[in-house]
Every structure is written in structure tokens, then in C-alpha cells.
Amino acid sequence: MIEPSSYLVFLVASVSLILIPGPAQALVIAASLRRGPREGALTAVGLNIGTLFHTTAAGLGLSAILASSALAFSIVKYVGAAYLLYVGIRALRSKPAQQEAQAGSVGTGRSALGQAIFAGVLNPKVALFFLAFLPQFVDPARGAVLLQFFILGVTIAALDTLYELMIVHLVCRMKGRFLRDPRLQSWRNRFSGIILILLGLRLAVQER
């Protein structure tokens, strides 16, 4: 098992990293503004399912492939960027009436969760980050390495999910009833779309 002092250092480092504004928080805010707290919460959960995926990949050594192969890195990067651009353009083109219909549909929650998982998994920078960050707190002499990776991954995913759920709550409280105005809904869609497109472009130009 992980040494307690090392785990405490990991907790402090994780909280510090989580509090730094980044693409995940931007996605959660955009989702919360677009369709409310349920989609914001599902986006937070989906992104951190992606975190668990990358943790497992780092534990199994799969992330090393992205670190060593320029082709593999580029494929994952461009597929992820294309997906974010696609979702962003859809948000820009959506109308307030369409948004309300989608928000009330049964499939919206599953769609939000699936989109967030897809976005979280298809980010090679996250994979390389976990490959560099997590091993610092893993000691092969203290037992099963994969279990240690899993404990660290669950910890950071839980902390990040809680933080992003707080963001969802604050954003949705601040929206107020005035944001239900169709004109303001249109601006919300544009804001969300622009954020997603910028994140897609940011991912596309990232280097290893």
C-alpha cells in the first residue's frame, strides 16, 4: 500500500492542481450554462471517468506508447480536437427551442455523460500528465503497483468531481431566472460553442 506521508503529499499536490483553472472546468461551466445542473454534473462525472481510464493506462504502461510514438499521439490528439470542434459548432448552431427540447429528452443525460467521457479519454496531454505525475507516489516495494495507481486515480477523480460539482452549483445559482430569456439562451449557446471550439483548437496545436 501507499505510504501515508507520500499519500498526504499526493493529496496536497492534487488539490493544488485541481484548483488551477483549466479545460475541464471550462467544459463543466459550458455544459451547466447550456442545459443546467444535471448536464453539468454528468459532464464532471464523465471527465473523471476519463481520469480513471488514464490512471489505468498509466498503471499498465499504455500511456508510454503515446509518449514514445508521435503517430499515436497525433491520432488521439486530432480525433479529440475534431470531436470538440464538432460539439462546439453544434452548440453555436442550436436554437433556444431546440435546446429546451433536448434538455427535456430522455437521451440528454446519457449524451452528456458519453460526450464528457469521450472528451476526457481523447486527450493525450492528460495521459502524459498521469504518466509523469502518478509514478512519483508509487513504490513497487510496497505491494501491487496497479492497485497503488488505482487508489491514486480514484482519489484525484473524487476530489476533482467534488470540486466541479461545486462549480456546477455556483454557476446554476448565479444564472437566475433572467437567463431563461430566449435571447440570452442564444448567447449562452454561443459562449458554450466558442469555449468548446477554442478547447478543440488548443488541443489540436498541443505538442508532446
Q: What is the pLDDT of residue 178?
A: 46
Query: Per-residue pLDDT tens for 60-88?
Result: 876 666 667 777 778 777 876 787 688 77
Under DSSP, is residue 105 helix (H, G, I), strand (E, B) or coil? Answer: coil
Q: Which residue has the cell 500500500?
A: 1
For 49-67, what is the mean pLDDT?
Answer: 80
Of 156, 75, 84, give the one whose Cα is nearest residue 118. Answer: 84
Above pLDDT 70, what percent of the chain? 75
Alpha helices, DSSP H only, in the chain?
4-19, 23-35, 37-60, 63-68, 70-93, 96-103, 108-121, 124-133, 145-175, 182-205
pTM, whole model, 2 decimals?
0.71
Of 1, 39, 203, give the one whose Cα is nearest residue 120. Answer: 203
- Confidence grade of residue 162 (pLDDT, cut at 50, 70, 90): very high
The residues, ordered by sequence, that sit 6+ positions from 130 with a Cβ below 8 Å of its Cβ are 51, 54, 55, 57, 58, 63, 153
